[in-house]
Amino acid sequence: MSAALTWRVARLAGRRVETPTAHTLLLDVPGWPGHLPGQHLDLRLTAADGYQAARSYSLAAPAAGNRIEVTVQRVPDGEVSPYLVDVYAEGDPVEVRGPVGGWFVWRTDQAAPVLLVAGGSGVVPLAAMVRARRAAGSPAPFRLIHSVRTPADALYADELRRRARDDPGLDVAYVYTREAPADWPGGPHRIGAADLTRHGWPPDRTPLCYVCGPTGFVEAVADLLVGLGHPAGRVRTERFGPTG
């Protein structure tokens, strides 16, 4: 908060394969100032002829010193994400600028119940909140609803299943839009008011709601939440653009 942002050099320290099309990049960024869960960074690539392309990515976890994590979903015909998922090698540099975004954040001293609603890879900044909550020992009750196309598309599924068991006060629910597990009650469907009522909080608990995903998803869920009686001022949104 004290100076204008500058681009810093980040180097790849390792990667985790989350799904066939999504990798988490572990980046070492000397001088990284730390960040809040929900914030993102801008990442810039420069080609040998000077051509540049920049994209925004959510920070996936609390910083560990100079080590940060971003999860990148490969976008078909994209320009930046295929490079980061398929080509980018350990030790190679990219440039990052951040952290940015002071609105779509959760602070560990907030005690109110929290509803997190994610569409697809929109779960990334919300998982950062779940991770920060546990790391800080926060008692704020969290409920996460993750809408995915198929079970194979669910980012961090194993970790979230484990946390739902081990992190006190955390519940995790899934909605499948295209293909659900065989015995799944209700079958595949788009997220609706019934899902938000069953797996979320009643408005009289005055939860803070964070909704992240593609623009159409965020639009629909934010409208549903307001329709259920949540004040618009308690619904924070982050929309993903179609840039690759």
Judged by the rule CB under 8 A, the positions of this chain that interact with another protein are: 1-5, 7, 9, 40-42, 44-53, 56, 79, 83, 87-89, 92-95, 97-98, 100-104, 214-216, 219, 236-241
Query: CA 232, CA 244: separation in Å to the nearest integer?
Result: 30
Residue 238 C-beta: closest distance to another protein, Å: 6
In sequence order, which residues have a C-beta less than 8 Å from that of residue 191 and are 6 or more positions away? Answer: 117, 119, 145, 147, 175, 177, 217, 220, 221, 224
Q: How far is the CB of 105 from another protein (least distance, A)?
A: 9
Residue partners of 164: CB distance under 8 A and separation at least 6: 170, 171, 172
* Measured CA distances, 61 to 29, 67, 131, 233 (Å): 14, 10, 6, 26
CB of 57 to another protein, least distance (A): 11
List b or e across 114-147, with b for residues whose CB sees 16 or more CB atoms inside 10 angstroms. Answer: bbbbbbbbbbbbbbbbbbbbbeeebebbbbbbbb
Alpha helices per DSSP H over 144-237: 157-166, 193-199, 215-227
Q: How many residues does the chain have?
A: 244
The least distance separating another protein from the CB of residue 124, rounded to whole angstroms, comes to 14
Nearer to another protein, 134 or 236 (CB): 236
Q: Using CA atoms, how far apart are residues 119 and 99, in angstroms rounded to an integer? A: 23
Sign of CA dihedral 46, 48, 50, 52: negative
Least distance to another protein, CB of residue 195, Å: 21
Name the minimum Å distance from CB 112 to another protein: 17
With tokens 């809408």, the residue in question is 147
